[in-house]
Amino acid sequence: MRINIKYFGQIAEVTQKEEESLEFSGIFVSDLLNSLFSTYSELKNTSFKVAQNQELISNTTKVTGAEIALLPPFSGG
Amino acid sequence: MIKKKQYLTNKMSRYSRHIVLSEIGQIGQDKISNAKVLVIGAGGLGCPILQYLTAAGVGTIGIIDFDVVELSNLQRQVLYGTSSLGLNKAIAAKAHLQNLNDAITINTYPEKLTHLNALELFNSYDIIVDGSDNFNTRYLVNDACLITNKPLVFGAIYKFEGQISVFNYNNGPSYRCLFPNPPEKGTAPNCSEIGVLGVLPGIVGSMQANEVLKLILEIGNVLSGKLLCYNALTCETSILKIKRNALAVSAVLKTQHNFKNTQIETGCEIQVANLNIQDAIAQENIQFIDVREAHELPKVTDLDITYLPLSTLETNLHKIDLLKKKALFCKSGMRSKHAVSVLHNLNITNCFNIPQGATEIINFIKERNKMISNAK
């Protein structure tokens, strides 16, 4: 399954891109993250939450959707 | 009597573009006049929020900000001009806003929002708007809104991106349902030095003002249970759905009886800069701050000292001169180092630690005085 992954804020700075498309099948969010951690080691030191098809989900959720987003908290005002 | 009639006519005229809208009308405009809104922070987000709420005729507006206007603020904080430099932001904002609309009440709180004053302050308002610039304040605002059961209009920015939501509205999710805890040290930028496109807080703050008016008027779909993410470079918006996390909410509500004793958490790890005694004393525009508790001796004499015990640091921030360099000390440099870090996370910069401590400062001054009298 082709998954489009969107990166926001400081996450996009780590990945050097705002989105990318990757091929996965039968995985959980935690597996997807481990795969991203091996590509972008700096991600491990970054705070973020994961959304699947525009809905916030936990790391134990199965990846079934077409779009995953990595959302960091912003503090600026 | 004539005066009152004239005022009413003026009022009709001032808000005519609202009143003519069938979704608002005179009834809606009266709702706006009766609303009480507290805005946390009169900075990048606070300025447009305050400007539009004042123009709309929100009857009572509270502004809390302890900070002063600096030159680097003017690139985005549009309520201020060069004549506001060095003035407290809440007070400078009021001066500008009251000229925009003198028929509303504007309450200023030129102080830091803390666990000690938050609950009482929030209880005096209907809606709380977060325009703060650090995680400590954001979590404090969220928790105090949960405890006082006030809707929170949230906005936050990072470089070219913004996040907007309405939390704690009609049993909707809170900020902790999205991000349960403040980010661990070093995992998210929390410092005032990050760049930001000047117009971005204008856009995000205007969206927050829009949500406030929708809440007051009970029209449209409030951005509750959703986080709107805006990217100024791509003009893209994404709306992510957030579910209420009952555990996160009840954990906050459990703290309400002990809320005032909650300690501030320090957000980002910083390298605390040291200043040696000789260099500190040689400076002219410097404030010496003793962070030891009131009973601790020996006191430093022959220097103008501000006493800010670490235990009550958060509630005495008004004693800090934001325009001066700050030299903090304690007995051995540990607590003053922590205090510099705490202040940094509250965006109070230009603070230095004197690691040698009070006794060494006293000895230095004694030696210096001896040398001066020998030289005479």
pLDDT in tens, B171-224: 999 999 999 999 987 788 875 668 999 999 999 999 999 999 999 999 999 999
User: Taking residues A27-35, what's their average pLDDT?
Assistant: 96
Q: Is B41 on the interface with A (CB under 8 A)?
A: yes
Contacts of A47 in chain B (CB under 8 A): 179, 183-184, 187-188
Chain B CA closest to residue A58: B178
Cβ atoms B321, B348 nearer than 8 A: no
Tell me the CA end-to-end span of chain B in Å, nearest whole number. 76
d(Cα B105, Cα B262) in Å, to the nearest integer? 32
Contacts of A9 in chain B (CB under 8 A): 158-159, 161
Q: Is B169 exposed, middle or buried (0-12, 13-18, 19+ CB in 10 A)?
A: buried
pLDDT band at A63 (very low <50, low <70, confident <90, very high): very high
Amino acid B264: pLDDT: 55
Sheet holding B351-353, edge to edge: B305-307, B286-290, B325-329, B351-353
Lowest mean pLDDT among B197-201, B239-243, B371-375: B371-375
- The CA distances from residue B257 to B116, B144, B254, B312, in Å, are 12, 12, 7, 19
Contacts of B63 in chain A (CB under 8 A): none
DSSP string, B306-353: EE--GGGGGGGGGGS-TTSEEEEE-SSSHHHHHHHHHHHHTT--SEEE
pLDDT reading at B4 higher than 60: no
Chain B CA closest to residue A70: B240
Q: State whether B183 and A47 contact (CB < 8 Å).
A: yes
Q: Percentage of chain B with pLDDT > 90?
A: 77
Q: Encoding tokens for residue B352?
A: 């230095």
The CA distance from A57 to the nearest CA of chain B, in Å, is 9
Q: Phi, psi at residue B172, to the nearest 5°? A: -75, 180
For the segment B191-203, what is each residue's pLDDT rounded down to a tens digit?
Answer: 566 899 999 999 9
The number of C-alpha atoms within 13 Å of B319 and in the hemisphere containing its C-beta is: 15
Q: State whether B158 and A74 contact (CB < 8 Å).
A: yes
Residues of chain B numbered 73-132 and touching chain A (CB < 8 Å):
130-132
pLDDT reading at B301 higher than 50: yes
Chain B CA closest to residue A72: B188
| All structural domains of chain B with their residue ranges | 35-261, 277-375
One-letter identity of residue A75: S
Q: Is A16 on the interface with B (CB under 8 A)?
A: no
Q: State whether A77 and B155 contact (CB < 8 Å).
A: yes
Homologous superfamily (CATH) of B35-261 is NAD(P)-binding Rossmann-like Domain (3.40.50.720)
The CA distance from A25 to the nearest CA of chain B, in Å, is 24
Specify the CATH number for A2-71; select among 3.20.20.140, 3.10.20.30, 3.40.47.10, 3.40.50.150. Answer: 3.10.20.30
What mean pLDDT value characterizes chain A?
95
Q: State whether A49 and B41 contact (CB < 8 Å).
A: no
Q: Is B196 on the interface with A (CB under 8 A)?
A: yes
User: Taking residues B286-303, what's their average pLDDT?
Assistant: 93
Chain A CA closest to residue B193: A76
What topology does CATH give the domain B277-375?
Oxidized Rhodanese; domain 1 (3.40.250)
d(Cα B88, Cα B323) in Å, to the nearest integer? 11
